[in-house]
Structure 1
Amino acid sequence: MLHVRSIWNGAISFGLVSIPIKLVNATESHSISFRQIHTEDMGRIRYRKVCELEDREVSTAEIGKGYEDADGTIIPITDDDLAHLPLPTAKTIEIVAFVPTDRIDPLQMDAAYYLAAGGAPAAKPYTLLREAFKRSQKVAIAKFALRGRERLGMLRVVGDAIALHGLLWPDEVRAPEGLAPDTKVTVNDKELDLADALMDTLGEIDLEDLHDEYREALEEVVAAKAAGEAPPEAPEPAKTGKVLDLMAALEKSVKAAKESRGEEAEAEVRQMPARKSARSTPKQAGGKKSTSTAKKTPAKKTTAKTAKSTQGTKKTTTSKSTATKKTAAKKTAAKKATSRKRTA
């Protein structure tokens, strides 16, 4: 990773161990930002910071922080006041517990940071904490202060570094009450089997293969307009039939997923209970042939019967053909005899 400026310097504290660290952003945004403009002349629209008492624009150096009291009184707060907060986590990431990873609700996950060792003295305790994380397969719950407020965090190992994930406080996560369907619905085993099959067919994916297609499309539009060309047109959305039956929708989804992966779409999803039918048993999932031989003998008998029937048909046809020829010959001979008599 290229050199990134630290946004906070402090220490990790657990027990009597203190590790000097530097906080570095672990993520970055690649989104395309726009400017507000005056559409008539393309002039930039800017927000100016104006003092409402003097009615003039002020510079950044003249701007500070203040807390507005209930009666409207402004109480100034300086950076020095914030630097000397009576709070143990003002400059310390204080580890309060080590817990299994599954104890952390993903809903609480917030911004992520890397913790870089703060100089040579931090190398030994930093490595010790990292290896302890690896061997215990646990994460640490910690408290720290950043950007004007105390936060909850989780420490874990990423590669050879220690990462800090900001966590929302438990009371900041809303309960999902009233969001689930209030209608009583029954899901049968066949529907679950098809849902499982769809999940298996879609399978896993390497997240490295995913990318922001919206940003790429937006870059194409910007490039086209910059070159004085018409922006590319959006492709026609794929037409899909309206499916009202859940089973049919699942089956079509499995088929589409298989086709997109180049698999045989007609292969069965999974082994289902055999239905009573006059047709032969279909192939099992995965295209494997059935090892059952119970129906081989009837098939042979049917073939033999068909062969006998064919032979019988051939004999009947041949005998009919021969009889027809004999009858025609007799008629011809009779006509010739009649002709001779008339001539005499």
Structure 2
Amino acid sequence: MRSIWNGAISFGLVSIPIKLVNATENHSVSFRQIHTSDGGRIRYRKVCELEEKEVPAAEIGKAYEDADGSMIPITDEDLAALPIPTAKTIEIVAFVPASSIDPLQMDAAYYLSANGVPAAKPYTLLREALKRSEKVALAKYALRGRERLGMLRVVDDVIAMHGLLWPDEIRRPEGVAPETEVTVREAELDLADALMDTLGEVELESLHDDYREAVESMIAAKAEGGEVIAGQTPEEGAGGQVIDLMAALESSVKAARRAREGEGEEDGEVAEVTRLGERRRAPAPKQGAAAHKSTAKQAGKPAEKAVKSTARGAGKAGAKAGAKKTARKTAAGTGESAGEAAPAAGARKTAARKTAAKETAAKKTSARSGARTAAEKPAKSAPRKRTSA
């Protein structure tokens, strides 16, 4: 960046060579004046009133106009000869808290760059001293033909200087405040606080100049010969309408919450809010048709169970019948006809009856022989009595 002033910072007996660099730039779109009939450029020419001719820049000097209209010429040599200690020096006069500086005094901002290698050490010393003290430095300096007041503070690893207006250059706000006595209610203050909390904070980097972008888009469209789309303009006198303050605050809070939470609710819709302290209420008893439906539903449950039980029994019977059908189909699938299968089944049944009868007779015979054996055993095992002589 190009420096606009070279000098030094006077910090007691310490001198720090520095360069002054603009810290801000203007991005506003500038226009030229033209002759509307033919588009010719309109320029300002410096003309001498006495000779009525244009004067070149080399022949133009400075002068002070006295009260009677007479001009007192002032040369650059006259200004340079003035005993101003801040002509080439930023002289620090005090260190004060940043909160003691009225923002109304803030003017242009500059970066102070160390001028040369020898300036690095004292520059760093001043920067670190400002950081540790958490204060700002008040200084006086001369720039563009006048002495000014400045404030030095640290921005990242750089010392920045803000030009300050002199205290007598700040106008008193007389006649600006409302003259009518107004009372603000607590409810209105609460809504205002809620709106402030909802809006919250913002990243300054996310803010940009919408008007400048619109102007640049319009210029680009006209340069390409396209049609310029007109935007919405505020209604005449819209800013002076008298509104219901409470209603406006409530609407603002709701709109801010929707925008912040991204709920996407339509205009006019209000989200239902349940307070944490409220207890859940028991549901109200059903009435009318709803109660009749509920009673009928409860009454129908036993009948429904009976129907289900009957259906289960019918299902079992159907399953048995299905099993018999399957057996018949299996028998039929072996190649036997219906006529051949019936005698064979009868013969098998007869043989089974005979076998069962034989087994029953054998069991009875075995049971009788067992009974006899049990009756005979006690008689054989009884001891004989001996007779004495």
Q: Using structure 2 for the length normalisation, give the TM-score.
A: 0.68
Cα distance in 1 for residues equivalent to 2:260 and 2:81: 60
What's the counterpart of residue 34 of structure 2?
Answer: 37
RMSD of Structure 2 on Structure 1 (CA): 2.7
CA-to-aligned-CA distance 1:279-317 (integer Å, 9 cap, x gap): xxx524xxxxx266xx45xx44x65x54999379947xx
User: 5+ residue gaps in structure 1?
Assistant: 269-281, 285-289, 319-344
Q: Are 2:177 and 1:186 equivalent residues in the alignment?
A: no
State which of 224, 244, 252 in structure 1 corresponds to 2:221.
224
Contact 1:243 1:249 in 2 (8 A): no
Cα distance in 2 for residues equivalent to 1:43 and 1:236: 31
Cα distance in 1 for residues equivalent to 2:86 and 2:226: 56
Cα distance in 2 for residues equivalent to 1:179 and 1:75: 39
Q: Are 2:273 and 1:310 equivalent residues in the alignment?
A: no
Instruction: Within 5 Å, give how 1:123-162 maps onto structure 2.
Output: 123-162=120-159
CA-to-aligned-CA distance 1:171-230 (integer Å, 9 cap, x gap): 111111222222222212211111011111111111111111111111111112112222
Q: Are 2:144 and 1:163 equivalent residues in the alignment?
A: no
Cα distance in 2 for residues equivalent to 1:97 and 1:167: 14
What's the counterpart of residue 47 of structure 1?
Answer: 44
Instruction: Within 5 Å, give how 1:242-257 maps onto structure 2.
Output: 244-257=243-256
What's the counterpart of residue 262 of structure 1?
Answer: 261
Cα distance in 1 for residues equivalent to 2:181 and 2:71: 55
Instruction: Within 5 Å, give how 1:254-293 maps onto structure 2.
Output: 254-263=253-262, 266=270, 283-284=274-275, 290=276
CA pair 188-69 structure 1, distance change in 2 beyond 3 A: closer
CA-to-aligned-CA distance 1:52-76 (integer Å, 9 cap, x gap): 3333222212222222344544333
Q: What is the DSSP-based 3-state SS (H/G/I as helix, E as strand, rest coil) of the residue aligned with 1:37?
A: coil
Higher mean C-alpha displacement, 86-95 vs 172-181? 172-181
CA pair 312-133 structure 1, distance change in 2 beyond 3 A: same
CA-to-aligned-CA distance 1:205-262 (integer Å, 9 cap, x gap): 1111111111111111111211222212214769x9x883211110000111122223
Cα distance in 1 for residues equivalent to 2:62 and 2:242: 58
Cα distance in 1 for residues equivalent to 2:277 and 2:197: 24
What's the counterpart of residue 346 of structure 2?
Answer: none
CA pair 170-306 structure 1, distance change in 2 beyond 3 A: same
Cα distance in 2 for residues equivalent to 1:139 and 1:94: 13
What's the counterpart of residue 109 of structure 1?
Answer: 106
AA of the residue aligned to 1:96: V
AA of the residue aligned to 1:310: A
AA of the residue aligned to 2:42: I
CA-to-aligned-CA distance 1:64-112 (integer Å, 9 cap, x gap): 2222344544333222332332111111111111000100110111111
Cα distance in 1 for residues equivalent to 2:80 and 2:242: 62
Cα distance in 2 for residues equivalent to 1:307 and 1:54: 105
Q: What is the DSSP-based 3-state SS (H/G/I as helix, E as strand, rest coil) of the residue aligned with 2:212?
A: helix
CA pair 68-177 structure 1, distance change in 2 beyond 3 A: closer
CA pair 68-237 structure 1, distance change in 2 beyond 3 A: closer
CA pair 312-50 structure 1, distance change in 2 beyond 3 A: closer
Instruction: Tell me the CA shift for residue 151 of structure 1.
Output: 0.8
AA of the residue aligned to 2:56: S
Cα distance in 2 for residues equivalent to 1:224 and 1:115: 41
State which of 205, 208, 227 in structure 2 corresponds to 1:208.
205
What's the counterpart of residue 339 of structure 1?
Answer: none
Cα distance in 1 for residues equivalent to 2:65 and 2:177: 41
Contact 1:141 1:154 in 2 (8 A): yes
Cα distance in 1 for residues equivalent to 2:11 and 2:62: 33
CA pair 40-307 structure 1, distance change in 2 beyond 3 A: closer
Q: Using structure 1 for the length normalisation, give the TM-score.
A: 0.76
Q: Are 2:97 and 1:100 equivalent residues in the alignment?
A: yes
Q: How many residues align?
A: 287
Instruction: Tell me the CA shift for residue 118 of structure 1.
Output: 1.2
Cα distance in 2 for residues equivalent to 1:87 and 1:155: 20
CA pair 233-310 structure 1, distance change in 2 beyond 3 A: same
Cα distance in 2 for residues equivalent to 1:15 and 1:267: 64
Cα distance in 1 for residues equivalent to 2:293 and 2:40: 96
Higher mean C-alpha displacement, 152-161 vs 174-183? 174-183
Cα distance in 2 for residues equivalent to 1:73 and 1:176: 35
Instruction: Tell me the CA shift for residue 267 of structure 1.
Output: 5.8
Higher mean C-alpha displacement, 70-79 vs 117-126? 70-79
State which of 78, 87, 94 in structure 2 corresponds to 1:81.
78
Cα distance in 1 for residues equivalent to 2:293 and 2:63: 108
CA pair 312-260 structure 1, distance change in 2 beyond 3 A: closer
Based on CA coordinates, which of the two structures has the bigger radius of gyration?
2
